[in-house]
Structure 1
Amino acid sequence: MVDLNAAPRANIAERKRQLVRNELALAAVTLLADQGFEETTVDQIVAAVGMSRRTFSRYFQSKEDVVVHLLAGAGAQMCAELSARPDDEPPAPALRHALSVFTSVCDADPDRTLHVSRLILDTPALLARFLERQSQWQAEMAGILARRTGLDPDAGLRPALAAGVALTAYQAALRRWVDSDGTKPMDELVDEAFTMITPALDLSTDPN
């Protein structure tokens, strides 16, 4: 017999898990911003939210994972946004619209985003995890671009290169935004970067 309540219960359980993850992530960001990455321990993070280390391990493997978790949802949204763009839209504006998922986060909560971004870019362990995430996003974005343009994602280089160039442009803009203490709108910095890279995002011809 099918349990009609199974899916709702599963959704509620996942929402609760997500709330705990977010609570841990916010506590971690606050401590890391005040104390620094190396000086902050997992024990301090769990103590800040009244949780045991054992419970922490159910959600995250390390303190690096806690911070990078804040990026995971935005990355999934970015790929979904790219997939939802009109089929006849050229790659450059489609990619730029998709990256608005990240720039809108900077605009919505600039202080916290600035803290998180500075931590990630200036901490080698976090930057490595961030780049690992970017690699995953690049692969997914390349597949989306290939489907949109009718290219073979396995045989052609251009979709992967276009996705990589777009993400590199975003990272360069993010670095400038952090270095300026958020004084220049992130959207303007990404627009400036895309003005420079747009020719490289043309997938109308594929030499492969």
Structure 2
Amino acid sequence: MVEMSVASTAGIAERKRQLVRNELAEAAVALLADQGFEETTVDQIVAAVGMSRRTFSRYFESKEDVVVHLLAGAGAQMCAELRARPGDEPPALALRHAVSVFTSICRVDRERTLRVSRLILDTPALLARFLERQSQWQAEMAGILARRTGLVPDTDLRPALAAGVALTAFQTGLRHWVDNDGTTAIDELVDQAFVMITPALDLSTDQS
């Protein structure tokens, strides 16, 4: 009973922490989108939600971390989706389903996602953090693809290359979506990109 109570208390505490993180992230995105990245200070962000700078530092190290936080959950879901795809599904189709985690967010919450995506893609410091996070996703996805196909990622370039190409296809579609203010469906853009790259996603083990 004591162990269950401790676990329950820990779970509640973590949920509260997550709520605070989300509140800070939402406030930061609103300010950063309106004022610009360089013009917005941490003090302004915490003032918007009635918190102290000390509280902010318990959750995030910088303004960049606040925005990147919004990507973390979606990236984990993308890798989980790839891991859950049927083993006999072609890699190109499995990867397209995986990145649909992101395209679904764009479709369901269009205005907010446009704002966040434009902020990330047009701010060098945020784009650098996005690409850093994308590199982490690529490594995890490469491991998943290797296990699905029986390839050895330490000696075979194809799993990492396929993961990288798929992520680049998504990012290219996202860039066009943002540049056109979301007037073309994000799924349509990403589908077009995947049609072009499908040959590069062939991980058949009989290739020489």
Bin the TM-score by the shorter chain: over 0.9
Q: Structure 1: how far apart are the matches of 2:190 and 2:8?
A: 40
> Does residue 1:192 correspond to 2:196, yes or no?
no
SS at match of 1:133: helix
SS at match of 2:38: coil
Change over 3 Å in CA distance of 1:125–1:206 after alignment to 2: farther
Q: Structure 2: how far apart are the matches of 1:205 and 1:87?
A: 14
Percent of matched pairs sharing the same residue:
83
Letter of the 1:25 counterpart = A
Letter of the 1:114 counterpart = L
Q: Structure 2: how far apart are the matches of 1:177 and 1:114?
A: 8
- 2:165 corresponds to which residue? 165
- Whether the aligned pair in 1 keeps the contact of 2:149 and 2:205 (CA below 8 Å) is no
- 1:76 corresponds to which residue? 76
- 1:17 corresponds to which residue? 17
- 2:174 corresponds to which residue? 174
Q: Structure 2: how far apart are the matches of 1:67 and 1:46?
A: 14
- Please give the per-residue CA displacement for 1:11-62, whole angstroms capped at 9, x wherever unaligned: 2111111111110010001001110110000000000000000000010000
- 2:34 corresponds to which residue? 34
Taking structure 2 as the reference length, the TM-score comes to 0.97
- Whether the aligned pair in 1 keeps the contact of 2:151 and 2:205 (CA below 8 Å) is no
Aligned alpha-carbon RMSD (Å): 1.2
Residues 44-55 of structure 1 aligned to structure 2 (within 5 Å): 44-55=44-55
Unmatched tracts of structure 2, length 5 or more = none
- Residue 126 of structure 1: CA displacement? 0.1
- 2:144 corresponds to which residue? 144
- Residue 205 of structure 1: CA displacement? 3.0
> Does residue 1:109 correspond to 2:122, yes or no?
no
- Residue 94 of structure 1: CA displacement? 0.2
Unmatched tracts of structure 1, length 5 or more = none
- Whether the aligned pair in 1 keeps the contact of 2:162 and 2:200 (CA below 8 Å) is yes
SS at match of 1:3: helix
- 1:131 corresponds to which residue? 131
Q: Structure 2: how far apart are the matches of 1:13 and 1:154?
A: 40
- 1:91 corresponds to which residue? 91
- Equivalences, count: 208
Q: Structure 2: how far apart are the matches of 1:155 and 1:16?
A: 44
- 1:121 corresponds to which residue? 121
Q: Structure 1: how far apart are the matches of 2:207 and 2:7?
A: 47
Q: Structure 1: how far apart are the matches of 2:59 and 2:91?
A: 36
Letter of the 1:33 counterpart = A
